[in-house]
Amino acid sequence: MLRRRSITINRTIKQNYHNAKIKSESNYHAWIKLTLSALIPLMIAIFTIVTTILQQKLSTQQREQEKQDSLLLRQQTERQEDNLQKENIFATYLDDVSKLLLLENQTNSLIHIRMKTLSALRQLDPTRRKYLFLFLYESGLIYRYPEQPYVSLLKLIDADFNGIYFEGTIETKCSLIHLYLYGVYLSNSSFIHCYIDYSNFSSATMYKTLFLNTLVMRTSFKFTFLDQANFSNTKISDTTFKGASLIECDFTGARWKENDVDFINANLSGAMISDEQLRNSTLYNCILPNGTWGPIRTNNLVVNGDAEKNVSFNLVFCIC
Ligand SMILES: *[C@@H]1O[C@H](CO)[C@@H](O)[C@H](O)[C@H]1NC(C)=O
Ligand SMILES: *[C@@H]1O[C@H](CO)[C@@H](O)[C@H](O)[C@H]1NC(C)=O
Ligand SMILES: *[C@@H]1O[C@H](CO)[C@@H](O)[C@H](O)[C@H]1NC(C)=O
Ligand SMILES: *[C@@H]1O[C@H](CO)[C@@H](O)[C@H](O)[C@H]1NC(C)=O
Ligand SMILES: *[C@@H]1O[C@H](CO)[C@@H](O)[C@H](O)[C@H]1NC(C)=O
Ligand SMILES: *[C@@H]1O[C@H](CO)[C@@H](O)[C@H](O)[C@H]1NC(C)=O
Ligand SMILES: *[C@@H]1O[C@H](CO)[C@@H](O)[C@H](O)[C@H]1NC(C)=O
Ligand SMILES: *[C@@H]1O[C@H](CO)[C@@H](O)[C@H](O)[C@H]1NC(C)=O
């Protein structure tokens, strides 16, 4: 009886346990089902979001790429147009000036040529400026043979030749002689392995211009602005720098004979110039590299002989 009962109890417990197990299993299944059914939309949602983000990123990249491509294309087109425009300006200039050169009245045509030259130069790049320069040189307009009257020459005061570049070789120097370049702008220009003779750069503005390994003879740099110009390894003879501004000019390795170069009234402040070079130069009334005055001589005061341009620099010397 007792045993039976215990069995009964046992069975009941088992049954209960079994029921509970079934119940919990079915709960478990339901839960998994629920989770799964919730998970699938969630995964789809995540997938959608991730794909959307990726797509957006991709299309942003694409847009950036397209933007960049069109920018490059536009820049290229602009460059081509700009180049074409400059080519046209240059071609028109050559045509016009060639016609003007054939006219009878030279005085009249020189004024026209001057105007056309100033206007063309403003719009051209350094390479075409150089070819324009050579055109004027070979037409004899900026070439002054001895005793030639100045009125027969092209006045290029304020003409913009900045950045033009001449370079020869040791064997074949680039030869530029009898140049008449009074008052022009020639900053950032280069004359490398050149031969410059009988030339007139008076009152020109030539900041940072290079005269490297060049031969400069019988040339005038009167009242020329040559700040930070570089005359490295250049041979100079019979040349004047009267009243020139030569601040921080580099004369390293430059050579000239005794009394062959004069710096009268010039400003050599901060220039790189050796004591030997200074000894070989005429230095009256100039500012030496260290900022002190050279020997003062009142009878050596020069007035601006090339007085077409008002250069205030020479006013300083009135103090003596
Ligand atoms: C040339 O033109 C200038 C200015 O118009 C005039 O003064 C001069 O007389 C002209 N010369 C000749 C030779 O025609
Ligand atoms: C010369 O070149 C320098 C840079 O090397 C530039 O800053 C300056 O504007 C240029 N000057 C002229 C007149 O072209
Ligand atoms: C002048 O030119 C020479 C040769 O190119 C160079 O070595 C030197 O540094 C230049 N001087 C200055 C002040 O730039
Ligand atoms: C200075 O002049 C003397 C004699 O004219 C010459 O021998 C010497 O080479 C010159 N020095 C320089 C640095 O040019
Ligand atoms: C010479 O150049 C230096 C440096 O720029 C300047 O301070 C000085 O005033 C100049 N001297 C004269 C007399 O112009
Ligand atoms: C300045 O330089 C000159 C020439 O090199 C020299 O004779 C003079 O003694 C120097 N002056 C000073 C104050 O350094
Ligand atoms: C340079 O040209 C100017 C202006 O025409 C002139 O006054 C000067 O005498 C010339 N200098 C030389 C050395 O020929
Ligand atoms: C040159 O400049 C000075 C000072 O700025 C002025 O008094 C003088 O009249 C000018 N001279 C000419 C010829 O322009």
Q: How far is residue 63's CA from residue 125's CA, in Å, rounded to a whole number?
A: 35
Judge if the beta carbon of residue 202 lies within 6 A of ligand 7: yes
Task: Determine if residue 74 is left, alpha or beta; phi over 0 gives left, psi from -120 to 50 gives alpha, anything else beta.
Answer: alpha
275 C-beta closer than 6 A to ligand 6? yes
The pLDDT-based confidence of 84 (bands split at 50, 70, 90) is: very high
- Determine which residue's CA is closest to atom 10 belonging to ligand 5: 267
Cα(99)–Cα(93) distance, integer angstroms: 10
Tell me which residue has its CA closest to atom 10 in ligand 3: 230
Amino acid at 163: G
- Which mutation among 108, 109, 152 tests ligand 1's pocket best, with the greatest number of atoms within 8 A of CB? 108
pLDDT above 60 (res 165): yes
Domain ranges of the chain: 1-92, 144-319
Taking only the tens place, the pLDDT of each residue in 258-301 is 999 999 999 999 999 999 999 999 999 999 999 999 998 876 55
Compute CA 118 distance to the chain's CA centroid, rounded to the nearest angstrom: 21
State the distance from the centre of ligand 1 to the C-alpha of 108, rounded, in angstroms: 6
How far apart CA 180 and CA 146 sit, in angstroms, is 11
The pTM is what?
0.77
Q: Which ligand sits nearest to residue 151's alpha carbon?
A: 7
The Å distance, Cα 311 to ligand 8 centre, comes to 9
Percent of the chain with pLDDT over 70: 87
- Expressed in angstroms and rounded, the spacing between residue 207 Cα and the centre of ligand 5 is 15
